[in-house]
Amino acid sequence: MATVETNPRADITAQPTGLALRRFKDKSFIIWGVLATLIGLGTLAALVGDLVVDGAHRLSPEFFMTFPSSDAAHAGILSAWVGSILVIITTAAFAIPVGVLAGVYLEEYAPKNPLTSAIEIAVNNLAGVPSIIYGLLAVGLFVQLLGMGQSILTAGVTLGLLILPVVIVATREAVRGVPQDIRNAALAVGATKWQATSHHVIPYALPGVVTGVIIGISRAIGETAPLILIGGLTFVAFLPVTLPGDHKFEVIGAVDQYGAPMTPEATELVRIHHDGVVVMPDFSEVAVEAGQEIELPHGATVQTVADLGDAVASWSPTNWLGSDFTVLPIQMFNWTSRPQAAFLENAAAAGLVLLFITLLLNGAAIWLRYRLRKRIKW
Amino acid sequence: MEGLSVQRDFTVKRMRPGEHVIEGVLFLAAALAIAVVVGILFVVISEAAQFFAEVSFWKFVTETRWTPLFENPSYGIAPLLTGTFMSTLVALSVAVPLGLLVAIYLSEFASARVREVVKPVLELLAGVPTVVYGYFALLFLTPILQSFIPGLPGFNLLSAGIVMGLMIIPYIASLSEDAMRAVPQSLRDGSLAMGTTRLETAFRVVFPAAISGIVGAIILGMSRAVGETMIVAIAGGQLPQIVTSPTQQGATVTAFIAQVALGDIAFGTIEYQSIFAAGLALLVLTLIFNFIAFAMQRRFREAY
């Protein structure tokens, strides 16, 4: 009969050999983990600190209200932030409806067929395409083929396409999170599918959708590479929109890219809206009054002062969509690539503004997501 | 009976006409994704094809100089590829160890409260505009590195790569953490019950179980690094040369495209087409990486 060999001195509470070392390794790993995390967080702090040290003293109301200039001390970001806002308005107007509708389609409507999988594969792949490739698309398709020019419209649509996957994926996740019961209840009382979707599913999914949209918009604001390709100008000393009191320059007739009249003998009947001056092609000046109608040769420039009505009218998208532009990140890039220290200070200040906006938006998105998780319990 | 014609055939699906219109609109929005993919492929391939009509593909692959803007142009993609690989290598050697340490710490050691705070703050790192990172690399990190490495040029791939690595930490950390948290608790419990420490469980049980997700995360980070433009364009220098050490300056594929675009390019010229050829190389690289990452992540999802 076999007996179980036991060691009478074995103490089951005794620690196996080497346990102290293993425990020490276990504990000390926490230090490594915390250290790695702190390097990440420290980077963020160093980034902000560096920009503050270099550029905070340049932040003044004047910095926001002046155009870029070859004189670094008096250069500002007026055209850059106005350009950024206009481009982002275009981006949002394009990407939000298209992205949300596409996300809703894929979750609620899409049949299971090869076409749907093709769309899904396309969305997944677009999310991984480097941003500069979107710039190539914009140059080749929008600027070259469709003749949209190097304009705010081109920039807005390009960035819109860039953030489309972000909006689509966020919408899908949010819509998927709405319980099936909600849909069934709506359909049971006779709602059509679109009524159930638009009255019930989308409103419940909205916070999640908004989170995705904010992250997408924040990415579009900071994006530089594709806009460099479509020729976001680095030196823009005008605004696509006017303010009351601004000088307005209206060039008469067909002129070439240097402002010279293409057909020097042609004239055009022009109605003058405000008091001002007309500069003739030979640079002689003629004073004009509001309401006057005069025959002007091509190449003449009407210089008047904008009133409130002009300023409001200039905000119509038809006025600024085709305009040249610059945006904050391009302005910052331009200043960063100059050797003079004074311009680098401007770059740091522009970077601070940019960082503030993007961190604020990202923070808002994170907060929204956090609240969403806390509040809604289906 | 004739008057009460309520006998509808409920097996037939009837829709209000408007519903069809709405469904069509929704479909068009979704189908735009395909159109964009086709558009990108069409533009890049057709312009690159014109490029390859003038420059033989063989020369593109084998020549070792990339000087499209010179009098005697040479179109070897190799210098740009070595620049891209070097900066990516540096980025990964920063981001992979740090990202994985953070992921293991957050997933296996940190309390829920620490995780709730640290994860979103780390994600802010991914939200910083890349042009700001470029500034940071050129004017903050490079001077610091120069005090350690004498003779380091003002533009170098080391500094650009390190900052790029810091930028992709959140991608790698966040996705790897998701992969590790998806490992069933029973595996951990089983391991701990055998008397292992948390660290041993993390490295010998959780990490191997989540490996395909983790590799997927790393490849995704790699794809980000390969496609990143502004950091390398600002801090890496834009000199296309065969790069053998990260302390050299060099141009990446992306930096070259940006550099050409900054100058005055005339449409239809060979210089203009060369950025599409470079773009095609970039697109192929990132699509391969994305595909591998996607396949890897799918495998890890199916595991349990």
A127-179 pLDDT, tens digit each:
889 999 999 999 888 888 887 778 889 999 999 999 999 999 999 999 998 99
The amino acid present at A19, given as its one-letter code, is L
Question: Is there a contact between B282 and A132 if contact means CB atoms under 8 Å apart?
Answer: yes
Note the helical H segments in chain B. 17-54, 57-62, 78-104, 112-127, 130-136, 142-148, 157-181, 185-193, 198-201, 207-209, 211-227, 230-235, 253-262, 270-302
The CA distance from B158 to B232, in Å, is 10
How many angstroms away from the CA of A62 is the closest CA of chain B?
Answer: 22
Is the interface score ipTM higher than 0.85?
A: yes
Question: Is there a contact between A122 and B34 if contact means CB atoms under 8 Å apart?
Answer: yes
**DSSP SS3 for B20:** helix
Strand partners, B131: none
How many angstroms away from the CA of A83 is the closest CA of chain B?
Answer: 17
Nearest C-alpha neighbor of A328 from the set A45, A78, A122 = A78
Nearest CA in chain B to A337: B234
The separation between the first and the last C-alpha atoms of chain B, rounded to the nearest angstrom, is 59
* Mean pLDDT, range A42-69, rounded to an integer: 86
Query: What does DSSP assign to residue B188?
Result: H
pLDDT at A8: 56
pLDDT at B37: 92
User: Which contiguous run of DSSP H or E holds residue A295?
Assistant: strand A293-297
* Mean pLDDT, range A7-21, rounded to an integer: 70
**Is the Cβ–Cβ distance between B182 and B207 less than 8 Å?**
no
pLDDT at B98: 94
B30/A contact by beta carbon, under 8 A: yes
How many angstroms away from the CA of A191 is the closest CA of chain B?
Answer: 11
- pLDDT tens-digit readout, A220-235: 999 888 998 887 655 6
Query: What does DSSP assign to residue A261?
Result: B
Strand A293-297 versus strand A267-271 pairing type: antiparallel
- pLDDT tens-digit readout, A364-375: 988 888 887 776
Nearest CA in chain B to A94: B29
pLDDT at B131: 92
Task: Name residues 50-89 of chain B within 8 A of A (Cβ).
Answer: none
Per the structure block, which two tokens stand in for A272? Answer: 């003058």
- List chain B residues with CB under 8 Å of A22: 197, 199-200
- List chain B residues with CB under 8 Å of A106: 30
Reply yes or no on whether the pLDDT at A236 is more than 70.
no
User: Phi and psi for A288 in degrees, rounded to 5?
Assistant: -130, 160
Reply yes or no on whether the pLDDT at B301 is more than 60.
no
pLDDT at A268: 77
- pLDDT tens-digit readout, A279-319: 777 777 878 877 778 888 877 877 777 777 777 777 777 77
Nearest C-alpha neighbor of A76 from the set A353, A286, A262, A317 = A353
Q: Which band of pLDDT confidence, cut at 50, 70 and 90, is reported for residue B1?
A: very low
The amino acid present at A161, given as its one-letter code, is L
User: Phi and psi for A231 in degrees, rounded to 5?
Assistant: 75, 35
**Is the Cβ–Cβ distance between A159 and A223 less than 8 Å?**
yes
**Is the Cβ–Cβ distance between A221 and A360 less than 8 Å?**
no
**Is the Cβ–Cβ distance between A164 and A212 less than 8 Å?**
no
B17/A contact by beta carbon, under 8 A: no
* Mean pLDDT, range B126-142, rounded to an integer: 91
**Facing B286 at nearest CB: one of A130, A337, A355:** A130
The amino acid present at B253, given as its one-letter code, is V
> Count of residues for chain B?
304
The CA distance from A202 to A195, in Å, is 10
List Cα–Cα distances, A201 to A186, A270, B202, in angstroms. 10, 55, 40
User: Which contiguous run of DSSP H or E holds residue A227?
Assistant: helix A225-229
- pLDDT tens-digit readout, B243-279: 778 888 888 889 888 888 887 677 778 888 888 999 9
* Mean pLDDT, range A184-207, rounded to an integer: 90
pLDDT at A97: 95
Reply yes or no on whether the pLDDT at B3 is more than 70.
no
Question: Is there a contact between B131 and A333 if contact means CB atoms under 8 Å apart?
Answer: yes
The amino acid present at A133, given as its one-letter code, is I
pLDDT at A12: 64
More confident residue, B91 or B20: B91
**Facing B26 at nearest CB: one of A109, A161, A225:** A109
**Facing B101 at nearest CB: one of A33, A336, A358:** A33
Question: Is there a contact between B40 and A29 if contact means CB atoms under 8 Å apart?
Answer: no
